[in-house]
A and B are shown apart, each in its own frame.
Chain A
């Protein structure tokens, strides 16, 4: 009988462990592009989806009529080769190129009309992009005409958003997709879109497992330049540190959500990081309509509080200086922001203004999502606000909440201060006025006033917004600049940080860039 000895035991342990020491599957030379990110997919149906992951998935699989150029400003042809519009910007006509869907059938005007009607009638999350669409008509198989209910100089920008991607209507209809006015109740195609795609883009959906993996296969029948990779895998890796580790080991080619601090800790010479300005921003919002605040959070008090925030210190505190200040709730670089001057920190003036307004012993509560977005930890950010307010003699109680509870309390005006974030859906400033403008019925006006609109409505903004939508070019920019200044004067929305974005990828990867409409254009990426 053989007896156990230490030597035999060690040998057995070594043999067993050597089986586990499988080297990681390295990226180099692979025909598959692997991307690490924490996925936020809420749907893969263009008319229902609304998330950062959706933006680059839809861009890769479905194509829009126009798209945003690499300069993140210029609209360039995509499915449409050219377009024209009438003088009052209510009619837009597009001429389609000879494109084909992944199944080989041609992209025709009927598909464009059907996709836009469906986007509007399904009343999904991105339906606001076409809420002013009155009709979409097929002029001929290669020409489509849209009529809007009012002038809109940003209509072209809106339809560059990934959610307006054109769907193969014949295929989608076979699987329960509808475009009629009853689409919101009767469309049953969502499960199908989670397993299939029907676009004309350079990739097709291969498989999707929620919060685990999203696989796209190259559309080998693509009518244009074919994508460099035969497959793109988006793999779920929750946090920045784990994403960086996966990138360093070569397990992934691109890590999408690495913050500047984590980027600085990467030691591998095979990893390249670029820090670029983003169009995302994190902001604080005042809610004068909150319980007991109508006579307290007056415009004077809000402006005083805005002066009490140390914005430069906030940048250091939250993102280690890797970001930018932003003046109005319109991102830097968007129309109308060129000459807007960011707010400055003036504690003495803030104290004086608070005293003049009789706001002594002011006590406020800030309810905000307990979140970390774009590398900004909301708790740290609000602690900085708390410290700054304390210097001005204002007590701020912090109330971090889960997302669902925060939303529940937000509409009820439970607290007068909050903090949230915003990322653009397309390049254009109208989306910000439409959301942050203190205009009767608009989302943030409703939120800030808790339904008592006269409390916050700024009568100058409505006409200015109409003017911006009626004009284009420099005239529109001027109108948005005035709107930006008005929104600053409202002192309801205070942008705190526009964090930089880290593009982190293996050094054999090229073509990685950040797009304001589409996040990460996959078809432009290749391996050296």
Chain B
């Protein structure tokens, strides 16, 4: 197992190099004006300004030279400077990634907990009203567009009834906690500031619920179908024959087996949400990596596109690795080589 993990870890930098190269070449070949983020529309006809900007950002050089320079810088940990923010891409990502991770982790916890609970209820009370209600709730979560459910819940829970605070990671008048992990909830606790922790948690709750609700649907369906299948298998019959109550058969025998396919879905969903939580980030003014990615793509911000692609690739590679390891751990019949 250890050798397998090491082999996978060693392959990651090479895979990333490939991803970075493909990302660079694709973005260069994409139709569009790379000066869109550098020269305002009104000055795009001014050759003096356009030439000065091209020279300053190295856009006047042939693509092969830019490619070699990009890879050279990348190997030294320099992702370049964003055309839009005019700051190092690594700095932008370092500021934004923790916000997204905090949101996605919270959403995954909520989504998984709700999905498991609803899947269990559905399977236990199959064919009853409880089953229907659980499935409808799950279906709504995965069917309703996040921008709609987010706005409606924000309006009802924040504007109309003041149950949760508004958008953002903290109230604008509040200074964030000293930066340690970049997770405001964790950093507030590390700073011993419990009221700030509660504020950060209350700001996190609704966007995490909305994003988690979207994840709930697929988990509920998967857990329910696996449990229903498991409950009809020999081991379940044996447990019942030995006098185990149905609750015990469900939770102790069928559920662990149902967890195995779930691991794949959880790993993939987590990686996907790292760059895919853009709508939730937009609705809740959450300064994460998703909105950064969309803005970079729309404005052909080559360095930022490259940086975000690498982050997404790392997320998928690590999620796959962790899933494979968890899979082997959960199911001893599976061997990793």
- Chain A interfacial positions (CB closer than 8 Å to B): 19-25, 30, 32, 34, 42-43, 50-51, 123-125, 127-128, 184-185, 190-191, 194, 209-213, 233, 235-239, 241-242, 245-246, 248-249, 251-252, 402-405, 407-408, 411, 420, 422, 435, 443, 446-447
A212-B291 Cα distance, complex, nearest whole Å? 11
18 further interface pairs, Cβ-Cβ under 8 Å (given A24-B171, A211-B295, A407-B32) = A20-B201, A22-B165, A23-B165, A25-B165, A25-B174, A125-B40, A185-B55, A242-B167, A242-B285, A245-B166, A245-B167, A248-B159, A249-B158, A251-B165, A402-B32, A404-B298, A443-B42, A443-B46
Check A407–B165 contact: CB distance below 8 A.
Answer: no
Residue of A nearest to B31 (CB): A405
Q: Which of B70-78, B85-93, B230-238 contacts A (4 or more CB under 8 A)?
A: B85-93
Q: Which residues of B contact A194 (CB under 8 A)?
A: 86-87
Q: Kindly supply a per-residue 1/0 record for chain B positions 271-298, scoring 1 wherever the CB is within 8 Å of any chain A CB and 0 otherwise.
A: 0000000000011010100011001001
Q: Does B112 contact A (CB under 8 A)?
A: no
Check B164–A209 contact: CB distance below 8 A.
Answer: no
Q: Kindly supply a per-residue 1/0 record for chain B positions 157-179, scoring 1 wherever the CB is within 8 Å of any chain A CB and 0 otherwise.
A: 01100111111100111100000
Given that A211-B291, A233-B173 are contacting pairs, would A43 and B86 also be in contact in the complex, using a CB cutoff of 8 Å? yes
Check A443–B45 contact: CB distance below 8 A.
Answer: yes
Q: Kindly supply a per-residue 1/0 record for chain B positions 47-86, scoring 1 wherever the CB is within 8 Å of any chain A CB and 0 otherwise.
A: 0110011011000000000000000000000000010111
Check B166–A246 contact: CB distance below 8 A.
Answer: yes
Partner of A209, one of B40, B202, B287, B295: B287
Sample of 9 A–B contacts (CB below 8 Å): A25-B172, A42-B40, A50-B40, A242-B151, A245-B154, A245-B155, A246-B166, A403-B298, A407-B32
Residue of B nearest to A50 (CB): B40
Q: Which residues of A contact B298 (CB under 8 A)?
A: 402-404
Q: Which of B36, B159, B163 has the most CB of A within 10 A?
A: B159
Q: Which residues of A contact B154 (CB under 8 A)?
A: 242, 245
Partner of A252, one of B84, B172, B199: B172
- Chain B interfacial positions (CB closer than 8 Å to A): 31-37, 39-46, 48-49, 52-53, 55-56, 82, 84-87, 92, 95, 151, 154-155, 158-159, 162-168, 171-174, 198-199, 201-202, 205, 282-283, 285, 287, 291-292, 295, 298-300
Check B162–A23 contact: CB distance below 8 A.
Answer: yes
Q: Which residues of A contact B199 (CB under 8 A)?
A: 22, 25
Check A251–B172 contact: CB distance below 8 A.
Answer: yes
A408-B154 Cα distance, complex, nearest whole Å? 39
Residue of A nearest to B34 (CB): A404
Partner of B300, one of A190, A242, A404: A404
Q: Which residues of B contact A22 (CB under 8 A)?
A: 164-165, 198-199, 202
Q: Which residues of A contact B202 (CB under 8 A)?
A: 19-22
A397-B51 Cα distance, complex, nearest whole Å? 34
A239-B282 Cα distance, complex, nearest whole Å? 8
Given that A233-B173, A238-B282, A238-B285 are contacting pairs, would A404 and B33 also be in contact in the complex, using a CB cutoff of 8 Å? yes
Residue of A nearest to B174 (CB): A25
Check B158–A24 contact: CB distance below 8 A.
Answer: yes
Residue of B nearest to A19 (CB): B198
Check B155–A213 contact: CB distance below 8 A.
Answer: no
Q: Which residues of A contact B164 (CB under 8 A)?
A: 20-22
Check A209–B95 contact: CB distance below 8 A.
Answer: yes
